């Protein structure tokens, strides 16, 4: 299979690596920044380009892995292509494709960093296509990369992406808040790592609500008031603490 990658960021990099590992032929890597395109293209022995007009029009699959607000512009500036054109966004509808014959969505539900390898075999790939034939093509490609391939339409995918923001992005921000609190008081974030690992391990086999702990679900008003007093000089954190505690109590009917 001949593939063109449109993008050179985190998602594009991980797709490049797993496709290359699976013996796919990546013809080109596009980025408006040629240096970035070359960096990834060199790794997978592909051609680097910084102009959409120079895209090889004979590839089997074109993967758009750019920021969500750039997808529409990329599609509008592409030449007529032979193969299947897909984007990798969780929040962007399949309807973004205009004047394209064969198209779909290949959404990897994972957080990506270039320096951290990801096990694609266990990674959910959420797919959608404009025709049954294109869906079958995309499904075959996806199953060669992952054991977790799911048919998810645009409406469902937006909900999934929203849930992922709560589960991943917001959770990580709370880790950052925790790290700041510790650092300001001469403590190391490493002290929290075993707690974070145990919390994550619990939800591998249980729903989050089933394993909720802490002062809010216990109705421990005294402890919560002590915490709020400790946050009296930081109105923003105090507000977050209150909202999260109320949310836990309401969600668990405490």
pLDDT in tens, 193-245: 999 999 999 999 999 999 999 999 999 999 999 999 999 999 999 999 999 99
The confidence score (pLDDT) of residue 171 equals 95
pLDDT in tens, 60-95: 999 999 999 999 999 999 999 999 999 999 999 999
Q: Within 13 Å, how many C-alpha atoms sit on residue 116's CB side? A: 4
Domain 158-251 in CATH: superfamily? Answer: ProC-like, C-terminal domain (1.10.1040.20)
The confidence score (pLDDT) of residue 114 equals 83
**Can you give the residue ranges of every domain in the chain?**
2-152, 158-251
- The mean pLDDT of 170-188, rounded to a whole number, is 97
pLDDT above 70 as % of the chain: 100
For domain 2-152, the question of CATH label 3.40.50.720 is answered with: yes
Report the mean per-residue pLDDT for the chain: 95
* Helix/strand/coil (H/E/C) assignment for every residue in 97-160: CCCCCCEEEEEECCCCECCECCCHHHCEEEEEECCHHHHHHHHHHHHHHCCEEEECCHHHHHHH
d(CA 100, CA 95): 11
Backbone angles phi, psi at 238, to 5 degrees: -60, -40
pLDDT in tens, 3-12: 999 999 999 9
- The mean pLDDT of 21-40, rounded to a whole number, is 96
Indicate the pLDDT class of residue 116, thresholds 50, 70 and 90: confident
- Least confidently predicted of 39-43, 113-117, 236-240: 113-117
The distance of Cα 186 from the centroid of its chain, to the nearest Å, equals: 33
Residue 237 sits at the vertex; the CA angle it makes with 232 and 110, to the nearest 5 degrees, is 165
């Amino acid at each position: 299979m001949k593939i063109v990658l449109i993008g050179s960021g985190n998602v594009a990099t991980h797709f490049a690596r797993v496709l290359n590992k699976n013996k796919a032929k990546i013809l080109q890597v596009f980025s408006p920044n040629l240096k970035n395109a070359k960096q990834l293209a060199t790794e997978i022995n592909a051609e680097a380009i910084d102009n959409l007009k120079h895209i090889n029009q004979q590839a089997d699959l074109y993967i758009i892995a750019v920021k969500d607000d750039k997808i529409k512009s990329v599609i509008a500036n592409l030449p007529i292509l032979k193969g299947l054109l897909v984007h990798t966004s969780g929040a962007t509808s399949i309807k973004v494709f205009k004047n394209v014959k064969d198209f779909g969505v290949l959404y990897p539900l994972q957080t990506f960093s270039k320096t951290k390898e990801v096990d694609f075999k266990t990674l959910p790939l959420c797919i959608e296509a404009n025709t049954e034939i294109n869906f079958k093509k995309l499904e075959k490609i996806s199953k060669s990369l992952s054991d977790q391939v799911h048919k998810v339409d645009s409406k469902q995918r937006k909900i999934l992406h929203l849930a992922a923001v709560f589960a991943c992005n917001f959770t990580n921000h709370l880790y950052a808040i925790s790290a700041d609190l510790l650092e300001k008081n001469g403590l190391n974030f490493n002290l929290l790592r075993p707690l974070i690992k145990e919390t994550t391990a619990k939800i591998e086999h249980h729903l989050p609500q089933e394993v909720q702990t802490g002062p809010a679900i216990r109705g421990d008003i005294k402890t919560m008031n002590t915490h709020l007093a400790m946050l009296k000089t930081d109105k923003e954190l105090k507000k977050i603490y209150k909202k999260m505690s109320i949310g836990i109590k309401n969600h668990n009917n405490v």
